[in-house]
Amino acid sequence: MRRLAQTAAAVWILALLPVPLAPGGEPAGGKTPSRFTEEERKVIDRALRFERELVRLAEKVRARSVTIENWRTVGGALRLAGGGSGVIISSKGYILTNQHVANGAKRLVVVLADHRRVEARVVGRDQRGDVALLRIEARRIKYASPLRARPSRLRPGQWVVATGNPFFLAADGEAIISLGVVSGLGRISGGEYFYASSIQHDAEINPGNSGGPLWDVTGKLLGINGRIASNRVGGALGPNSSGVGYTIPVDQIRAYLEEMLEGRQRPKHGDELLGIQVVTAHDERGEPVGVRVTKVVPGSPAATARPHGVRVGDVIWKINVSGRPREVPTATAYYNLMSKLEEGKKVTLHIRRTDEKTKRTRSILIAGIELVDTSSGRRKGRGR
């Protein structure tokens, strides 16, 4: 999977002459050519009513989408080095985008739907989760509340629309909209950025759509797009859509909006706090049976647990959270569960441990591990 950051190759398509668009308005619904039968015309008129809903939706969501230009110093001069898309989430000019869109910028310029170009600054960021909060000083802006949608209630097959600036083709800031459906939920993807419980959808998104919003058909903000899976390495501008896009759900982001507004770090998620990395463990028939520990961070709650710490090779198959047992047959299930836990929660791990010498497997229980931040930076902070 690759990120959707725009590359420098697109520089020369930008900054187009602001010519007013053709007047919009309702599609001509009532008048259809006489080449249709009466029955057919009834169907067409009903379809046109359906279409008007789409047009209204498009108007609403495009007005709230922005293009973000990432200017960097290249060879001594300030150049447009990349960027992506974003969404305005308050009347005060706060904008959500991806961290990888805003990353390393000397200057950030937001292009609004009405073609205004406004300087932006980074207010907060979630480095690992690939989210950045920007702010612009601009009046008369339309925004989408991040508090309305409940992405956890989405179902595969539900229609969604994505807005953004694929390949920076909409250089004036007017977002391009694409239509699709939810393909799946609870997707995990790792790498430099970590996406947990992300939404997979088939609305076309491409390099440049990064940080741009995904909406439901009532115009509620579902999240921000950040990644695609692609079955080939693309041409000059990188990979392109294969109908497999991933969105960071907005409910994850709103859990730490306050921290971002105040410029603080996002509180660590349970999977970061516990201090282990895992992969799916399969039995000899290929059935997923739990998660095998591949790394234990020294000094972490997992390593220092009593009576004994978690070891590399342990297979965790069940985790009790606040007394509730939850099976974790796959790494996806593990990360989806743990990434929802906050600091201070206690977990009990059900482990199958195989003795290296005797090859005998026994079940062990490590109870009441408290999820606390033991990273060195945090400890220093406490000491002061």
Partner 1 sequence: MRRFAPAAALLLAAAALSPAQTLKGIQAEFAEVGEATIPATVIVRSPDAKDPRIWGSSGVILNAAGYVLSDADATLFRFDNDEEGKPTVKVHGRTARIRLPAPDHRVFDAVVVKRDPETDTTLLRITDPPPKDLPVIPPGSSDRLTVGSFTVVVGNAFGTGREGEPALSLGIVSGLLPAGKGTAGKYQTIYTSAAVNPGNNGGPCVNAEGRLVGIISTFEADPKSPFRALGIVTPIDRIRARYRDVKDFTSIFPEPEPGKPASRAAALLEEAFRIAARAAGPSLVGITIDRGDETGAYTVRRPVRTPRGVQVMDVSLQRYLGPYSGVVVSREGHILTSSMNLWGFEKIKSVTVHLPDGRALPAKVLGRDLLHYLAMLKVESAGLTPLPPAGPAEMVVGRIALAMGRPFEGGGPPAPLMSFGIIGGLDRHVREMFPEAHAIHTDAALNDALVGGALVTIDGKLLGINLLVNPDTYGRRSGIGFAVPLAGLEKSLARLRRGRDLRPAWMGLGLEAGKDGKGIVFVNVKPDGPAGKAGIRSGDILLSADGRAAKEFATIQDFVVYVRGKGAGAVLTLVVDRAGEEKTFRFALGARPGS
- Active-site residue list: 100, 130, 210
For residues 198 and 214, the answer to whether their CB atoms sit within 8 Å is: no
Segments of 127-209 assigned E as strands: 131-136, 159-164, 176-189, 195-201
Helix (H, G, I), strand (E, B) or coil at 251: helix
Span 194-223, contacts to partner 1 by CB under 8 A:
200, 202-206, 217-218
How much is the CA Rg of the chain, to the nearest whole Å? 24
Minimum separation from the CB atom of position 284 to partner 1 (A): 9
For residues 135 and 143, the answer to whether their CB atoms sit within 8 Å is: no
Among the listed residues 75, 286, 323, 377, the single contact to partner 1 using CB under 8 A? 286
Cβ proximity to partner 1, 182 vs 257, nearer residue: 182
275 φ/ψ angles, rounded to the nearest 5 degrees? 90, 30
Cβ proximity to partner 1, 266 vs 292, nearer residue: 292
Among the listed residues 122, 123, 138, 229, the single contact to partner 1 using CB under 8 A? 229
Joined tokens for residue 333: 């299930």
Contacts with partner 1 by CB under 8 A: the residue count is: 96
Does the footprint of partner 1 cover residue 277 (CB under 8 A)?
Answer: no
d(CA 348, CA 365): 7
For residues 170 and 222, the answer to whether their CB atoms sit within 8 Å is: no
249 φ/ψ angles, rounded to the nearest 5 degrees? -65, 145
For residues 69 and 195, the answer to whether their CB atoms sit within 8 Å is: no
Tell me the window of 32-40, 254-262, 296-304, 343-351 that interacts with partner 1 (CB under 8 A).
32-40
d(CA 62, CA 176): 7
Among the listed residues 285, 306, 360, 380, the single contact to partner 1 using CB under 8 A? 285
Cβ proximity to partner 1, 63 vs 120, nearer residue: 63
Among the listed residues 8, 59, 263, 363, the single contact to partner 1 using CB under 8 A? 59
Cβ proximity to partner 1, 231 vs 322, nearer residue: 231
Tell me the window of 29-37, 88-96, 119-127, 138-146 that interacts with partner 1 (CB under 8 A).
29-37
Span 164-193, contacts to partner 1 by CB under 8 A:
166-167, 169-172, 174-188
Span 346-365, contacts to partner 1 by CB under 8 A:
none
Q: Residue 255 corresponds to which amino acid?
A: A
Q: Residue 75 corresponds to which amino acid?
A: G
Cβ proximity to partner 1, 229 vs 303, nearer residue: 229
Give the x/- contact pattern for partner 1 in 365-384, rule: CB under 8 A: --------------------
* 293 DSSP β-pair partners: 278
Minimum separation from the CB atom of position 376 to partner 1 (A): 32
Span 130-149, contacts to partner 1 by CB under 8 A:
none
Counting other chains too, the contacts that 364-369 makes at CB distance below 8 Å and 24 or more residues apart are: 364/308, 366/305, 366/307, 366/308, 366/309, 366/310, 369/274, 369/301, 369/302, 369/305
Give the x/- contact pattern for partner 1 in 61-100, rule: CB under 8 A: -x--------------x-----------------------
Minimum separation from the CB atom of position 227 to partner 1 (A): 12
d(CA 214, CA 172): 20
